[in-house]
Amino acid sequence: MNEAQIRALAAEVLAGIAPEADLATVGDDEDLREALDLDSMDFMNFVIGLSQGSGRKIPDADTPKLQTMRSLVAYLGG
Protein backbone atom coordinates (compact mmCIF):
# COMPACT_ATOMS: atom_id res chain seq x y z
CA MET A 1 0.00 0.00 0.00
CA ASN A 2 1.20 3.49 -0.70
CA GLU A 3 0.86 6.35 1.73
CA ALA A 4 -2.34 7.74 0.18
CA GLN A 5 -4.00 4.32 0.35
CA ILE A 6 -2.97 3.85 3.95
CA ARG A 7 -4.30 7.26 4.95
CA ALA A 8 -7.54 6.59 3.13
CA LEU A 9 -7.90 3.23 4.88
CA ALA A 10 -7.24 4.75 8.30
CA ALA A 11 -9.82 7.48 7.65
CA GLU A 12 -12.39 4.96 6.50
CA VAL A 13 -11.91 2.69 9.51
CA LEU A 14 -12.04 5.61 11.92
CA ALA A 15 -15.21 6.93 10.34
CA GLY A 16 -16.89 3.71 11.36
CA ILE A 17 -15.64 3.96 14.93
CA ALA A 18 -15.83 7.69 15.62
CA PRO A 19 -18.17 9.14 13.00
CA GLU A 20 -17.84 12.68 14.35
CA ALA A 21 -14.04 12.66 14.39
CA ASP A 22 -12.13 14.53 11.71
CA LEU A 23 -8.82 12.90 10.99
CA ALA A 24 -7.71 15.97 9.05
CA THR A 25 -7.47 17.90 12.32
CA VAL A 26 -5.04 15.40 13.84
CA GLY A 27 -1.33 16.07 13.44
CA ASP A 28 0.91 13.31 12.09
CA ASP A 29 2.68 12.91 15.42
CA GLU A 30 -0.33 13.24 17.68
CA ASP A 31 -1.53 10.25 19.64
CA LEU A 32 -4.64 9.15 17.76
CA ARG A 33 -6.25 7.76 20.88
CA GLU A 34 -5.84 11.01 22.77
CA ALA A 35 -6.78 13.23 19.85
CA LEU A 36 -9.89 11.26 18.90
CA ASP A 37 -10.81 10.05 22.39
CA LEU A 38 -10.62 6.37 21.46
CA ASP A 39 -11.00 3.87 24.28
CA SER A 40 -9.36 0.45 24.26
CA MET A 41 -12.35 -1.13 22.50
CA ASP A 42 -12.27 1.58 19.83
CA PHE A 43 -8.54 1.11 19.33
CA MET A 44 -8.88 -2.65 19.09
CA ASN A 45 -11.58 -2.17 16.44
CA PHE A 46 -9.23 0.25 14.66
CA VAL A 47 -6.51 -2.41 14.59
CA ILE A 48 -8.98 -5.02 13.33
CA GLY A 49 -10.11 -2.65 10.56
CA LEU A 50 -6.54 -1.84 9.51
CA SER A 51 -5.61 -5.51 9.54
CA GLN A 52 -8.60 -6.54 7.44
CA GLY A 53 -8.30 -3.55 5.09
CA SER A 54 -4.61 -4.04 4.44
CA GLY A 55 -4.66 -7.83 4.44
CA ARG A 56 -1.81 -7.81 6.97
CA LYS A 57 -1.59 -9.63 10.23
CA ILE A 58 -0.80 -7.12 12.95
CA PRO A 59 0.72 -8.82 16.00
CA ASP A 60 -0.47 -7.49 19.34
CA ALA A 61 3.07 -6.38 20.15
CA ASP A 62 3.07 -4.11 17.09
CA THR A 63 -0.10 -2.22 17.94
CA PRO A 64 1.78 0.64 19.65
CA LYS A 65 3.14 1.43 16.17
CA LEU A 66 -0.36 2.36 15.08
CA GLN A 67 -0.75 5.15 17.60
CA THR A 68 0.18 8.06 15.35
CA MET A 69 -0.48 8.62 11.66
CA ARG A 70 3.25 8.91 10.93
CA SER A 71 4.16 5.62 12.60
CA LEU A 72 1.06 3.94 11.18
CA VAL A 73 1.97 4.93 7.63
CA ALA A 74 5.53 3.75 8.17
CA TYR A 75 4.39 0.44 9.63
CA LEU A 76 1.77 -0.47 7.04
CA GLY A 77 3.87 0.92 4.17
CA GLY A 78 6.94 -1.02 5.24
Partner 1 sequence: MADFLMPALGADMETGTVVEWRVHAGDRVRPGDVVAVVETHKGAIDVECFLDGVIDDLAPLGQALPVGTVLARVRGAGEAAAPAAASSPSPSPSPSAPPSAPPVTPPPAPATAPTATAAAAPPPAAGMALPAAATRARVSPAARRRAAELGVLPDALAGSGADGAVVLADVERAAPAAAPAVAPPAAPAPRPRGFDPALMRQAIAAAMAKSKREIPHYYLQTTVDFAAAQAWLDAWNAERDAIDRLLPAVLLLKAAARALVAVPALNGFFDNGAFRPGPGIHIGWAVSLRGGGLVAPAVHDADRKTLPELMTALRDLVQRARSGGLRSSEMTDPTVTVTSLGDRGAESVLGVIYPPQVALIGFGRVVTRPWVVDGQVLPRPLLSLSLAADHRASDGHLGGQLLAAIDDALQQPASL
Judged by beta carbon, residue 59 or residue 78, the one nearer partner 1 is: 59
With a CB cutoff of 8 Å and minimum separation 6, the contacts of 27 are: 35, 69
Size of the site for partner 1 (CB under 8 A): 19
With a CB cutoff of 8 Å and minimum separation 6, the contacts of 31 are: 67, 68
Applying CB under 8 A, among 23, 30, 45, 53 the residue interacting with partner 1 is: 45
| Per-residue contact string for residues 12-41; x = within reach of partner 1 by CB under 8 A | ------x-x------------xx--x-xxx
Distances (CA, A) of 43 to 2, 54, 60: 22, 16, 12
Tell me: does residue 4 bind partner 1 (CB under 8 A): no
Q: E strand or H helix at 14, and its extent?
A: helix 3-17
Binding site for partner 1 (CB under 8 A): 18, 20, 33-34, 37, 39-41, 44-45, 47-48, 51-52, 57-61
